[in-house]
Structure 1
């Protein structure tokens, strides 16, 4: 059974983050990385900073690539955008991923709102990028680069900092296995519940794993990360059974539901805001 793995990048980045993954994954996994407006191939479009608009945009993109069983993986901000996309697909089209992966991202239940990023001075944005240490100093001094990058980063930082988890009474958790991944030296892993609280986002099996490295273990531990994703997704795929086909206009595939499993143990500047 082939599975479409929809991948979402971290703040400030594009789908290019995943450009090499297709060659590193087994043939039964087809990678489709998505860009939000303002990023990558959609860089000419205004960046979005409101969650309903993000969900709308990702819903449209996801429906273009789903033609059967699918899974979702999001890194940093991508874990939040992927979660919103998953809920939108379920609510609007009856489509449920057979697996969800969240990496380098504090769980929705552990987030503290901060609505300052859209209007803060450029100097504050630059200072934050410098603190994060992932943007070359020469770029931080390049006014042309900053004029292009800061509007996108403001929008992304704002999305991450204003994410509010809906109460379970208003929105049921996903019904698929969920794997949460963190970096041992990432400040997001300093408090264990930042990862473990992702268990609240699924009614099925939950697993977490921590890798050596900081926030960007997607680079420093890429082989181990991909191996963990493949192993977890393979387990979820063996448990998956197709639900009764639903009529979806323009969607050739059917919805898939997953059985529960037991719990166990780029382009542009990079962002830590997740």
Structure 2
């Protein structure tokens, strides 16, 4: 069963913006976004297994099954212009999601935003996350500053979230890059200057430019990995500005949202 926003597909003068969360996150990451977006952007957060409206679903840690699920969710919206944004794991999923839509439906997204994520060709495989000792796993979670210590120490809470958190880490760690023709859409790349893993090598973000033939822009935010939470207004502002540069919107009847290269 597909879980999407209750409204139907976007009209001709709307852009659908699919949003994907970071590892361990849910669609709630984007709950405050819609009220801050202009009327021509319709937010459609995509729901991950094991949380939110899919809390009863078993966590998925295999790429084909996850992409099948998300493609079913997205299908009602693909008749109009759409864009994709994801943070960390969500950016990597968003990239593969864009290619899956191209392969199955013959269309590219009109824009792709990737945040706090190494470029696909720069990633290394890490296959131990499903079975490594819990202490090792929690040390990695702590290093990212993504979860308060009081939650990490809450046994009941951790028993609930560890299965899908491990599944998410395995999903990222098992990623295998494939050479494919680049996408044809504008791309926005965001990174935190204090993100210990990504910021150490400039090409971790700059290499995203190889994944599109469209306009490319990159911005740094003075924060660590989870700047999507600590600097939400800045992120939303950059996303809106990038979309506005990539598109021309007319509110006149019969005019559609049209893509233009920067």
Give the TM bin, normalised by the shorter chain.
0.7 to 0.9
1:149-199 Cα shifts (integer Å, max 9, x gaps): 1111110001111212101xxx21111011100111112122111111111
* Alignment-derived partner of residue 5 in structure 1: 17
* Alignment-derived partner of residue 63 in structure 2: 51
Match of 2:158 among 132, 146, 163: 146
Matches within 5 A, 1:18-97: 18-97=30-109
User: Structure 1 residue 64: deviation in Å?
Assistant: 3.0
* Alignment-derived partner of residue 201 in structure 1: 211
User: Structure 1 residue 55: deviation in Å?
Assistant: 1.1
* Alignment-derived partner of residue 224 in structure 1: 234
Q: What is the SS of the residue equivalent to 1:226?
A: helix
* Alignment-derived partner of residue 247 in structure 1: none
Structure 2 contact 248–259 (Cα < 8 Å) conserved: no
* Alignment-derived partner of residue 268 in structure 1: none
Q: What is the SS of the residue equivalent to 2:73?
A: helix
1:82-118 Cα shifts (integer Å, max 9, x gaps): 1111111111112221100000111101111110101
- Say if 1:28 and 1:258 are closer, same or farther in 2 by CA, change over 3 A: closer
Q: What is the SS of the residue equivalent to 2:125?
A: coil
Structure 2 residue 182 is matched with structure 1 residue 173? yes
**Please, what TM-score do these two structures have when normalized by structure 1?**
0.84
In 2: Cα distance, 1:54 partner to 1:260 partner:
31
In 2: Cα distance, 1:89 partner to 1:111 partner:
22
User: Structure 1 residue 213: deviation in Å?
Assistant: 1.0
1:120-144 Cα shifts (integer Å, max 9, x gaps): 1222222222333332222222222
* Alignment-derived partner of residue 246 in structure 1: none
Count of residues in Structure 1 that have an aligned counterpart in Structure 2: 242
In 1: Cα distance, 2:168 partner to 2:56 partner:
16
**Please, what TM-score do these two structures have when normalized by structure 2?**
0.87
Structure 2 residue 198 is matched with structure 1 residue 186? no
Structure 1 contact 102–179 (Cα < 8 Å) conserved: yes
User: Structure 1 residue 79: deviation in Å?
Assistant: 0.5
Q: What is the SS of the residue equivalent to 1:95?
A: coil
User: Structure 1 residue 260: deviation in Å?
Assistant: 4.1
* Alignment-derived partner of residue 237 in structure 1: 247
In 2: Cα distance, 1:85 partner to 1:133 partner:
27
- For structure 2, the 5+ residue unaligned runs are 1-12, 250-256
In 2: Cα distance, 1:66 partner to 1:219 partner:
29
* Alignment-derived partner of residue 111 in structure 2: 99
